[in-house]
Amino acid sequence: MNKAVAGFSKLSKEEKINWIASAYFSNPENAILLLKKYWNSDEKLQKLHDEFIENTISNFYIPLGVAPNFLINDKYYTIPMAIEESSVVAAASKSAKFWASRGGFKTTIINTEKIGQVHFLYKGDVSKLELFFAQTKAKFLSETESITKNMKQRGGGILNITLEDKTQLLDHYFQLHATFETIDSMGANFINSCLEQFAKILKTEAQVYELFTEEEKNIEVVMSILSNYVPNCIVRAEVSCPVEELAEKHIPNPEVFAQRFVQAVQIAEVEPFRAVTHNKGIMNGIDAVILATGNDFRAVEAGVHAYAAKSGKYSSLSHAKIENGIFSFWLEVPLALGTVGGLTSLHPLVKLSLEMLENPSAKELMKIVAVAGLAQNFAALRSLTTTGIQDGHMKMHLNNILNQLEATTEERDAVQKHFKNHVVSHSGVVNFIEDIRKK
Ligand code: MEV
């Protein structure tokens, strides 16, 4: 069968599914049944989801869990987390409980500036371009007023525009580099609209600028787009307590624990192979909240990792120290988030998640998300430097294997009993169940 298809987007959902089923599946009926099994019986709700993207054929579930008992700046939160990886929500909850009895998490918004750029080519005298920019700058602001009016009323808008000479990097390459405050919205639409307007103004004003030669008048705009690198949109989250207060069941010697914990962080600070995994653990917490609250996790991921490499070498996002008997652990991350606009008012579970967080402002959400990242990192490092990660992981993994094998309650009990004293492995559990079933 020819697996190329023309006009696919114009087919109805039913037709799309039929085509896919017959093109790719040995049992087309089963494929269709499975896809439809995941449709929501509430047609209105299904239509809403269908229309989020294009060529929708079904829904793809990711569990929504909650991590309660997060004490952040003296207020308790239950944090919604959408994530498919086992252990993450459990780890967050454990960290939350641990730190709630040790003063909780403290957070600070360092700044909230967003960035966008008009990338263009100019072939000519740079000093004339600089003069042109200085004389036209006010127009960039006044002629975007219809776009910025509402944002200004909410306290945001365009903060500044500068001309950047990038010709050292690429021939004829210049930028309009603009900074924005977008209050409670992530601001992508607002920023991109402003930038496209800047690009128009740039081109039309250059055409009539008397000092430019004909060639200089022909400014070529390559593209106008926000940057997901937001190194001036930073939140800090931290925990601290006297070293001896770190003691608990799995931490019989808090001094040794604190030292090893700090060493683990120092390793991630100097060793990129470890830093990537260390930061991945932080992103387990961050992404889960980002997803549950309808924010763009790809944007956040891209920006966070760029920030982790800002020194020129990829490094840990979190840091730890012991000073005068006090253990401190903190991270600073760039988070451009929104609690209005986008998916936040469209996706019913996003709305629910935001309500669970008591409808936070974007700044409050930045704090909550950063705390989820720090909590996750704390839980991972605590396991890694004490019992090892597999202990907890395999307990959760065991449950997934049992679900896969559709184990009965009796089988589950027998497995739990047996694997208390044996190392859990996928094949070990499968063999054990097979043996029971044979008997
Ligand atoms: C697993 O998803 C995350 C960890 O690997 C993070 C870490 O190693 O710090 C446990």
Taking CA atoms only, the protein residue closest to ligand 1 atom 2 is: 281
Q: How far is CA 376 from CA 80, 95, 187, 306, in A?
A: 14, 7, 28, 20
Question: Which of the listed residues 197, 227, 257 is the one where a domain comes to its end?
Answer: 227
Q: Give the per-residue pLDDT at 422.
A: 84
User: pLDDT tens digit string along 11-21?
Assistant: 999 999 999 99
Structure-token match 């940057």, residue found = 227
257: CB partners within 8 A, 6+ apart: 246, 251, 382, 385, 386
Give mean pLDDT, residues 69-79. Answer: 98
Q: Give the per-residue pLDDT at 9.
A: 97
Q: Which residue from 289, 298, 299 is spatially nearest to 339, judged by alpha carbons? A: 289
Tell me the C-alpha distance between 166 and 311, whole Å.
20
Cα atoms found within 13 Å of the Cα of residue 44, Cβ hemisphere only: 2
Q: Which long-range contacts (CB under 8 A, 24 or more apart) does 26-32 make?
A: none
Whether residue 300 is found in the same domain as residue 317: yes
Got the DSSP string for 84-131?
Answer: -STTHHHHHHHHHHHHHTTT-BEEEE----EEEEEEEE--S-HHHHHH
Which is the closest atom of ligand 1 to the Cα of 377?
9
Average pLDDT, whole number, for the chain?
96
Question: Which residue in the list 128, 280, 305, 351 is annotated as catalytic?
Answer: 280
Whether residue 100 is found in the same domain as residue 241: yes
143 is known as an active-site residue: no
Report the CATH number at residue 377. Answer: 3.90.770.10
Q: Give the per-residue pLDDT at 113.
A: 98
User: pLDDT tens digit string along 156-193?
Assistant: 999 999 999 999 999 999 999 999 999 999 999 999 99
User: pLDDT tens digit string along 324-361?
Assistant: 999 999 999 999 999 999 899 899 999 999 999 999 99
Whether residue 221 is found in the same domain as residue 323: no
Token pair of 281 as six digits? 């653990």
Least confident interval from 1-5, 56-60, 105-109, 370-374: 1-5
Quick one: pLDDT band at residue 249, thresholds 50, 70, 90? confident
Residue 56 lies in a domain: no
Q: Give the per-residue pLDDT at 220.
A: 98
Q: How far is CA 127 from CA 122, 124, 132, 163, in A?
A: 12, 9, 9, 11
Residue 64 lies in a domain: no
Residue 63 lies in a domain: no
Which is the closest atom of ligand 1 to the Cα of 383?
10
Structure-token match 């652990």, residue found = 329
Residue 1 lies in a domain: no
Whether residue 211 is found in the same domain as residue 188: yes
Report the CATH number at residue 138. Answer: 3.30.70.420
Ligand 1 pocket residue status of 380, Cβ below 6 Å:
yes
165 is known as an active-site residue: no
Residue 390 has pLDDT above 80, yes or no: no
Residue 2 lies in a domain: no
- CA gyration radius for the chain? 27
Whether residue 432 is found in the same domain as residue 303: no
Q: Which residue from 128, 199, 188, 189 is spatially nearest to 161, judged by alpha carbons? A: 199
Quick one: pLDDT band at residue 391, thresholds 50, 70, 90? confident
Question: Which of the listed residues 174, 205, 227 is the one where a domain comes to its end?
Answer: 227
User: What is the domain extent for residue 25?
Assistant: 8-50
Ligand 1 pocket residue status of 284, Cβ below 6 Å:
yes
Quick one: pLDDT band at residue 399, thresholds 50, 70, 90? confident
Least confident interval from 145-159, 363-377, 411-425: 411-425
Residue 211 has pLDDT above 90, yes or no: yes
Question: Which of the listed residues 177, 200, 227 is the one where a domain comes to its end?
Answer: 227
- Kindly give the distance from the C-alpha atom of residue 281 to the centroid of ligand 1, in angstroms, as a whole number: 4
437: CB partners within 8 A, 6+ apart: 411
Contact 95, 248 (CB under 8 A): no
Taking CA atoms only, the protein residue closest to ligand 1 atom 10 is: 380
Ligand 1 pocket residue status of 277, Cβ below 6 Å:
yes
Got the DSSP string for 213-282?
Answer: -HHHH--EEEEEEEES--TTSEEEEEEEEEGGGG-BTTBS-HHHHHHHHHHHHHHHHH-HHHHHHHHHHH
Residue 394 has pLDDT above 80, yes or no: no
3-state secondary structure of 76: strand
Residue 311 lies in a domain: yes
Whether residue 246 is found in the same domain as residue 358: yes
Whether residue 218 is found in the same domain as residue 289: no
- Kindly give the distance from the C-alpha atom of residue 88 to the centroid of ligand 1, in angstroms, as a whole number: 9
Residue 135 lies in a domain: yes
Residue 207 has pLDDT above 90, yes or no: yes
Whether residue 285 is found in the same domain as residue 348: yes
Q: Give the per-residue pLDDT at 426.
A: 86
Q: Note the residue count of the chain.
A: 439
Cα atoms found within 13 Å of the Cα of residue 70, Cβ hemisphere only: 31
Could you write out the three-class secondary structure of 369-427?
Answer: HHHHHHHHHHHHHHHHHCCCHHHHHHHHHHHHHHHHCCCCHHHHHHHHHHHCCCCCCHH
pTM: 0.91
The percent of residues above 70 in pLDDT, for the chain, comes to 99
418 is known as an active-site residue: no
Judged by phi (left if over 0) then psi (alpha if -120 to 50, else beta), residue 327 lies in beta
Whether residue 363 is found in the same domain as residue 398: no
Give mean pLDDT, residues 2-7. Answer: 90
Ligand 1 pocket residue status of 389, Cβ below 6 Å:
yes
Tell me the C-alpha distance between 34 and 25, whole Å.
12
Euclidean distance between the first and final Cα of the chain, in Å? Answer: 47
- Kindly give the distance from the C-alpha atom of residue 38 to the centroid of ligand 1, in angstroms, as a whole number: 31
208: CB partners within 8 A, 6+ apart: none
Q: Give the per-residue pLDDT at 425.
A: 84
- Kindly give the distance from the C-alpha atom of residue 278 to the centroid of ligand 1, in angstroms, as a whole number: 6
Domain tally for the chain? Answer: 4
Got the DSSP string for 301-350?
Answer: HHHHHHHHTTTSS---SEEEEEETTEEEEEEEEE----SBSGGGGT-HHH
Whether residue 153 is found in the same domain as residue 263: no
Residue 59 lies in a domain: no
- Kindly give the distance from the C-alpha atom of residue 197 to the centroid of ligand 1, in angstroms, as a whole number: 44
125 is known as an active-site residue: no
Whether residue 223 is found in the same domain as residue 245: no
